[in-house]
A = this chain, B = another copy of it.
Amino acid sequence: MTEKKNIAIMGAGLVGSLLSLYLARRGHKVDLYERRPDLRTTIIDGGRSINLALSDRGWRALKGIGIEEEVRKVAIPMRRRVMHDEQGNLTFQPYGKEGQAIYSVSRGGLNVALMNLSEPNPDITYHFSRQALDVNLRTNEVQLRNVETGETETVQPDLLFGADGAFSVVRGAMQKTERFNYEQHYLEYGYKELTIPATGDGGWAIEKNALHIWPRGNYMMIALPNIDGSFTCTLFFPYEGERSFANIKTEEDLLNFFSEVFPDAVPLMPELATEYFENPVGSLVTVKCFPWSYEGKSLLIGDASHAVVPFYGQGMNAGFEDITVLDQMLDSFDGENWEELFHRFERRRKPDADAIADLAVMNFIEMRDKVAKPSFLLRKKIEGKISEQYPDIWIPLYSMVTFTDLPYSYAMETGLQQEKIMKKVMKHIKIVEDYNKPEVQQLLEKQLIKKEKLKKYKARKV
């Protein structure tokens, strides 16, 4: 039915590469233009978000194109959070129900896997070391510079997808059009990547199937496992202030600080000082914009339209879900009016992109501060019990985001309602067993019936 299009995707990262597979499956001819050289022949840049947490929304998009099993081979399930306190004591919090997990994958490894899966397709062509200099949205002409040879060329696809990330060049062009809403907001925190290497026998130095957190109030370190036995640690730390990147100037400053606040990690990080002073400080930006498309000729997707901070582990998952949603819309698309299709897509996804952006900022506070508190862990246990007792009514917010395909915006709204109920419930609870007290059970029944009624009422209104 649909007319075959010449499609250019700017950016051959995770979203661009996966999108190429989905578009080629519908018979389109796809060219990907990537600023960096081919990851498979060049050493990957170190020091920058080199592993990611893949969860249900991401898996769904991989499954949709039949490559879930390939990726699962290189993914490590993380079943719980392990919190490390300042004495090296551990506490634990499961991520979901029995059997549920999020998966640690290497950004580079996953990108290579997606490239290897898509490149043999005769309708997909990768062009590396191509920097987009300028995009003319009216004509869809993109001026590209080959960063190896210095030569420039101009391409003019039928459709242009901007999968070129948080600092998207395609979005930059849209920003110059009339009435483009745009927002970039930086946290006062940066991040630095460090390593816990594999043990001598190639094993994991700390619990393998977990996401480790050293929560310290206004800052934190986390660690995610890699398949080679190492962990990638990320220190999220203020730029300025008493305890900040600005105030760690010497190796002595660094070791004093780490020994004091991350004492159990230090012996596991032999390259700490070298890595700390060599690796760059990354910034943490949220980008929101609207619209995401221009005249049915170009469309932003993934981080280009909605860059989020990493604290919900949803950046890639949200980008992959963009592809799932677009593909669903293409199922019933007659191939005629791309402008209307793109408008439907951006209107559908925008509230969810905004929601996950806001949830990600909120979750930073939970991770760096709240998870260290016994009251928080008690509350999570109680919430687990509510969810067990009322499985149809109550899915915890984290689970809605991570283990379902409920819209992010619905998850956030429902999460705020749950928050209110939890506040009331926790007034009656000092220990887990208090959950069975009649007043708690009565309160819950009353609150949840109210909630159900509201839901039904809302459902009727739709």
Question: Which residue of chain B has the shortest Cβ distance to A286 in the bound complex?
Answer: B181
Residues of B within 8 A of A179 (CB): 186, 239, 283, 285
Which residue from chain B places its CB closest to the CB of A178 in the assembled complex?
Answer: B283
Collect the chain B residues with CB atoms within 8 Å of residue A183's CB.
182-185
For A182, what are the chain B residues with a Cβ–Cβ distance below 8 Å? 182-184
Of A179, A283, A285, which is in contact with the most chain B CB atoms at under 10 Å from its CB? A179
Residues on the B chain within 8 Å of A180, using CB: 184, 186
Residues of B within 8 A of A184 (CB): 180-183
Mark A283-316 against chain B: 1 for CB-CB distance below 8 A, else 0.
1010000000000000000000000000000000
Q: Would you list 15 pairs from A and B whose C-beta atoms are within 8 A, ordered by A residue?
A: A178-B283, A179-B186, A179-B239, A179-B285, A180-B184, A180-B186, A181-B184, A181-B185, A181-B186, A182-B182, A182-B183, A182-B184, A183-B183, A183-B184, A183-B185
Nearest 4 pairs of A and B residues by beta carbon: A183-B183, A179-B186, A181-B185, A182-B184
Count, chain A residues at interface, CB 8 A = 12
CA distance A285 to B182 in the complex (A): 11
Q: Report the separation of the CA atoms of residues A178 and B245 in the bound assembly, to the nearest whole angstrom.
A: 16
Cα of A184 to Cα of B178 in the assembled complex, Å: 11
For A178, A185, A285, which residue has the most chain B Cβ atoms within 10 angstroms? A185
Nearest Cβ on chain B to A246's Cβ, whole angstroms: 13
A339 to chain B, nearest CB (A): 14
Write out, one digit per residue, whether chain A residues 200-240 have a CB within 8 A of any chain B CB (1) or not (0).
Answer: 00000000000000000000000000000000000000010
> In chain A between 314 and 347, which residues have their CB closer than 8 angstroms to a CB of chain B?
none
Chain B residue nearest in CB terms to A184: B182
Complex Cα gap A184–B171 (Å): 14
* A181 partner residues in chain B, CB cutoff 8 A: 184-186
Q: Could you tell me the distance between the alpha carbons of A283 and B180 in the complex, rounded to whole angstroms?
A: 11
Return A290 CB to nearest CB of chain B, in Å: 9
A190 to B, closest residue via Cβ:
B179
By a CB distance below 8 angstroms, the chain B residues around A186 are: 179-181
Task: Tell me the nearest residue of chain B to A182, going by C-beta.
Answer: B184
Q: Which residues of the other chain, B, contact A185 by a CB distance below 8 angstroms?
A: 181, 183
